[in-house]
């Protein structure tokens, strides 16, 4: 899953800035800890569509899928495997 983590971290840097992305560990709950806000998350979800070609359904918007870099990477990997 290292590739997906790299991709998600790069996406996060593009949305929230390098400094923010560099300050977050893979398992840090960055949304819960308010390191990023809901506007950042909207942009991230949009990028999943435009950059990764993955449509995110409403019910998939959960901390389990988008609560950390590791969670997003896992979600990305599972969507690619099921495609």
Partner 1 sequence: MVTVDVVEWRCESPLPDQGDGDGVTVGRLSRARPELREVLPRRLARNARGFLARGDEGYVATVGGRFAGWLWLSRVSHRDPWSGLRFRIAPDEAYSYAMWAEPEHRHLGVGAKLMASLLADAKDDPALTRVYGWVDADNREMQVLIRMVFGFTDVQQVRRARVLHLFGVQVPASDRPRFGPVSRAGRHSGGARS
Site for partner 1 in 18-37 (CB under 8 A): 31-32, 34, 37
Provide, for the chain, the percentages of residues in helix, strand and coil under a 3-state DSSP scheme, each rounded to the nearest 5.
65, 0, 35
Integer-rounded Cα radius of gyration of the chain: 11
CB of 30 to partner 1, least distance (A): 11
Q: Considering beta carbons, is residue 41 or 70 the nearer one to partner 1?
A: 41
Are residues 12 and 20 in contact, defined by beta-carbon separation less than 8 angstroms?
A: yes
Is 17 one of the binding residues for partner 1 (CB under 8 A)?
no
Is 58 one of the binding residues for partner 1 (CB under 8 A)?
yes
């Amino acid at each position: 899953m290292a590739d997906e983590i790299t991709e998600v971290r790069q996406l996060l840097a593009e949305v929230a800035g390098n400094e923010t992305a560099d300050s977050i560990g893979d398992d840090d709950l960055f949304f819960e800890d308010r390191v990023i806000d809901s506007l950042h998350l909207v942009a991230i979800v949009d990028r999943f569509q435009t950059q990764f070609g993955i449509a995110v359904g409403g019910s998939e918007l959960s901390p389990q899928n988008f609560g950390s870099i590791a969670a997003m990477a896992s979600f990305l990997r599972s969507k690619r495997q099921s495609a």
